[in-house]
Amino acid sequence: MTGRITKLFLYLAGALALSSALAAQNDDTAIQNDAKAQAQLTLEDLRTFTDVFNQARNNYVEEVDDKTLLDAAIRGMLLELDPHSSYLPAKKYEELNDASKGRYSGIGIDVETRDGKIYVRAIINGSPADEAGLNPGDMITSINGQEVRGRYLPDAIDEIGGDPETDVVLIVQPAEGEAREVTITRAYVQVPALSYVPVGESFGYFRLTHFHNESSTHLKQSLESIKQAGTTISVLILDLRNNPGGVLRQAVGIADGFLDEGVIVSTRGRNSKMQMEFNANPGQWLPGTPVILLVDRGTASASEVLSGALQDHQRALIVGERTFGKGSVQSVLPLRNGAGIKLTTALYYTPSGRSIQAQGIEPDVAVDWEATPGMDDERIRESDLEGHLEQERAVETSVPLSEVPADYRLEEVLTALREANLYTP
């Protein structure tokens, strides 16, 4: 077996050497001009990797198969780069594609853990869990015949999800009444990302939890529907608190909806394909209407792109805390075995040339959401992550900035949010 593995890595060495030779031939001029060009791997380097591989498979305290070791090596290679590059096995790769469509395969519940127990926090309307009669506050005591008590809860929660058209058997204990066993067939569940609540006399409050492939379309349709109903929004409030991001082009689409012209965001990376710039097109959804974005330290990635674009063009007032600071672009690259990798390939820059990375977006008006009951004071930012990329210098730009709309009525807005119990996510 050891001989087979050694041959495998010698073959890998040959393939890498050939790839390196072709790359060197194609980029000969660039390499000659680059004094910092890195040396290629040698055969001795790959032999060292083979030695480590064999020592682990032969001497580790527990038996471990070759594929597990190889997958671990791949994961380790990517994790050493930065916190957001990762290996996606085939199932995770498929789940990521589903997430970009705003859906996942499961039963349609949001859960929370308390005192080593799993409770249903919320249920998606029309989901399998809704049809099975589950209710918020129900405690899940058993999953597929295995007691939850004593288990590692993240693993137990993962078991509730699964492939569509498969069953999961739960024992559910309601807050009042007897426990019951229920069999639920998993299905693709559309995750609601946008919600609307009229607040105060004429404020329109929109909560956007993440960006999927239809987010900008849904917001535009919602605004059109409100207008057709005869309602006039005097101040639009877009709540991006705890929004981790998602599909970049949807954040760009929403920014475009509030801008007539100018740069929305640019990306800069080592690969020339990652040198991109997104610009706004003429026409706004709500011209002249003041826009307020609510942000916190959980506002990240595409949410920060949207915030930075509207702030730089002075089209919106940013209210809340300094944001998370994830200013890096992850490209999802497929592999031939059905898996994929999520690789950091570029950094975001706001229209004025600011880098978001490890810095975040500073609000125009600071509001301490942490002082509100229910918020988690221990939440971290990008700069707290081990191995994070440092902030890049600003890029030169010449973006014409517009005037700030005068009437944001911020105090009225915050008072209305408190009264509507929307002061926290």
94 touches 114 (CB < 8 A): no
Q: Which residues contact 78 (CB under 8 A, 6 or more apart)?
A: 85, 86, 87, 341, 342, 343
- Which of 86, 303, 326, 342 is catalytic? The answer is 326
The span from the CA of 381 to the CA of 389, in Å, is: 12
Is residue 138 part of the annotated active site? The answer reads no
Taking each helix axis from N to C terminus, what angle separates 66-79 and 43-59, rounded to the nearest 10 degrees? 130
Q: Which residues contact 34 (CB under 8 A, 6 or more apart)?
A: none
Structure-block tokens of residue 105: 């395969």
- Burial class of 216 by CB neighbour count within 10 A (0 to 12, 13 to 18, 19+): buried
- Which of 127, 301, 307, 328 is catalytic? The answer is 301
Closest among 130, 211, 143, 131 to 172, alpha carbons compared: 143
- Burial class of 125 by CB neighbour count within 10 A (0 to 12, 13 to 18, 19+): exposed
- Which of 138, 239, 296, 312 is catalytic? The answer is 312
The span from the CA of 245 to the CA of 145, in Å, is: 36
Structure-block tokens of residue 195: 């919600």
Strand-pairing partners, residue 318, are 293
- Going from the C-alpha of 329 to that of each of 85, 201, 270, 332, the distances in angstroms are 10, 40, 12, 10
Closest among 358, 367, 360 to 388, alpha carbons compared: 358
Is residue 301 part of the annotated active site? The answer reads yes
What three-state secondary structure class fits 152? coil
Structure-block tokens of residue 147: 């007691």
335 touches 87 (CB < 8 A): no
Contacts 24+ apart (CB under 8 A), 71-79: 73/49, 78/341, 78/342, 78/343, 79/387
Type of residue found at 416: A
The span from the CA of 158 to the CA of 106, in Å, is: 10
Strand-pairing partners, residue 268, are 347
User: Token pair 């639009």 is at which residue?
Assistant: 236
Strand 365-366 and strand 340-349: the pairing is: unpaired
Is residue 36 part of the annotated active site? The answer reads no
What three-state secondary structure class fits 270? coil
- Residues catalogued as catalytic: 301, 312, 326
